Amino acid sequence: MSDVNANAIGGTAPGHYGAAATGVTFAETTFAAAWNVQGDATRQPFTDEVRRQFDVLLPSVPNTTAKSGALTALWLGPASWLLVAGEDTAALTDFAAKRDALNAAAGAAFEVTASCAGWTIAGPLATTVLANGCPLDFHPRAFPEGTCAQSVLGHVNALFYKRDPSSFTLIVARSYARGVWRTLCQSAAQYGYDVLPPRRL
């Protein structure tokens, strides 16, 4: 992620940074597994196979999510979803077998766990910090709990997920994690922020 420096803005060690107040908290979000599933949601053989393999009904409404146990399905597009699990779950095991089953139903699956980096962002000024680098409207009326949206943070493509009423999860490609982390920290420094220990999705 970013350079490990407990004394400077952008450090990853748990602690307080920036202004004396605490307007934002950051916690690295870790994933037990993350898979991208693709297919035609209007074709019953595909949706039936998804339910059989993952025990989840893929969200069909744009920018919505669905949960089943430890598994969360996030809508990426009309034919693409990100399945993520914060804890180990049988739903995201035996990748090759599940991929082959989806292939047989005219779908596809891609293992993307290693390529995902994420953070949970909370606090009274969390939406202000996110809005400093993203054009999305993060007001609860426009971005309610349980929804997600793809946009950018700075110049980096990012997925934003409103995991609960008070926090967001931000997911980016791991190759951009260092730069995104610095952007978040520099934006939050004026308000003061706490870095918390990593947490599962």
pLDDT surpasses 80 at 2: no
Same domain, 97 and 71: yes
Alpha carbons 165 and 46: distance in angstroms, whole number: 33
In the numeric block, the tokens 């978040």 are attached to 184
The domain boundary residue, chosen from 113, 141, 160: 113
Boundaries of domain holding 180:
15-29+115-200
Same domain, 91 and 23: no
Residue 105 domain flag: yes
pLDDT computed for residue 88 by the predictor: 87
In the numeric block, the tokens 């947490």 are attached to 199
pLDDT surpasses 70 at 3: no
Same domain, 108 and 121: no
pLDDT surpasses 60 at 5: no
> What size, in residues, is the chain?
201
The CATH number that applies at residue 66 is 3.30.70.1520
Alpha carbons 169 and 147: distance in angstroms, whole number: 11
pLDDT surpasses 70 at 4: no
pLDDT computed for residue 7 by the predictor: 57
Q: Which of 201, 182, 131, 200 is nearest to 12 (CA)?
A: 182
The CATH number that applies at residue 25 is 3.30.1360.120
Averaged pLDDT of the chain: 94
What is the total count of domains within the chain? 2
The domain boundary residue, chosen from 87, 113, 139: 113
Residue 44 domain flag: yes
Same domain, 76 and 138: no
Mean pLDDT of 46-75: 95
Paired with 119 in beta bridges are 28, 170
Mean pLDDT of 140-164: 96
- pLDDT tens across 82-117, in order? 999 988 888 999 999 999 999 999 999 999 999 999
The domain boundary residue, chosen from 79, 113, 147: 113
